Amino acid sequence: MKKYLNLKKIEIDKLLEEGFVKLSPINKILNLEIFSKKISSEMKNLTFSTVCKSHEELLNKLNIHESLSPILFEIAKKYFNYKGDIENQYHIVRMVRPGDTKEQYRAHFDSHIFTLVIPIKIPVSKNKEQGELILYPNARKYPKIEVENMLGKIYFKKYANKSSMSKLIKKKYARVENFEDMRPILFTGVTTLHTNRFVDPTIKENRITILAHFFDPSPKYGIGFILRKIRNR
């Protein structure tokens, strides 16, 4: 378990060059059915939560703070000129219910340098949208100042719809990940445009993922801080 998130050099190189890397299947080391039931019970009607005890339990079992955080911290300092603390992290649970139109095609960049998406419960349905993750790695350069970050977020909002994302996929700029292999994805959130497809109302189960964000280089009261405050109200 302790070695699961110890990134190898080849994985680090792929993350830096291609903007993302897929990890080993998480269902091989954890009983995700147990965690999905616990999380569902704790989340109730929420879509996002930062205080769900079960997701913290899962992250602790993965030794994320002892294994992955220090590795990403060194990468952030060396390659992204990160000056902040290692504790600058934001971990949440995302539970999307079938038919929820608010959680579809909201293309955006994260404020944090790295984002880890851990699949917990992934519904599968043939020929129906299942809330798949859409990634456009290295869609923009790493913003060096907050104004550049904000302008980039505003400019790329034109892709926050199904038609535009479908064009990016067709041109092979963006890729679709359905997580059927249960392999978590680690990507550079601040440079990767990403969103999720719709979860079709005919699907019987909620879609549950854990989103672990590492190191927001923006000022304390930058755009990322403000958006998180709004989300957590």
Mind listing the pLDDT tens digit for each residue in 140-184? 999 988 899 999 999 999 999 999 999 999 999 999 999 999 999
Q: What is the pLDDT of residues 120-145, one digit of tens each?
A: 999 988 889 999 999 999 999 999 88
Largest CA distance in the chain: 47
pLDDT score for 230:
45
Confidence (pLDDT) at 226: 54
Residues of the chain where predicted confidence (pLDDT) is lower than 50: 228, 230-233
The answer to whether 187 and 15 are in contact (CB under 8 A) is yes
Count each helix (H run) and each strand (E run) in the chain, helices first: 7, 9
Identify the CATH number of the domain in which residue 41 sits.
2.60.120.620
pLDDT attached to residue 2: 63
Domain total in the chain: 1
4 domain residue, yes or no: no
Write down the pLDDT at residue 124: 87
Residue with tokens 């280089």: 217
In-domain check, residue 29? yes
β-partners of residue 94 are 48, 209
pLDDT at position 232 is 47
Domain membership of residue 5 (yes or no) is: no
Residue 2 lies in a domain: no
CA 27, 28, 30, 33 dihedral sign is positive
The token pair that represents 159 in the structure block: 């892709």
At residue 228, the pLDDT reads 46
Find out whether 7 and 184 touch, Cβ atoms under 8 Å.
no
Domain encompassing residue 176: 18-231
Residue 61 lies in a domain: yes
What is the rounded end-to-end Cα distance, in angstroms, of the chain?
A: 35
Query: In Å, how far are 8, 33, 36, 53, 54 from 42, measured between CA atoms?
Result: 35, 14, 10, 8, 8
The reported pLDDT for the residue numbered 208 is 97
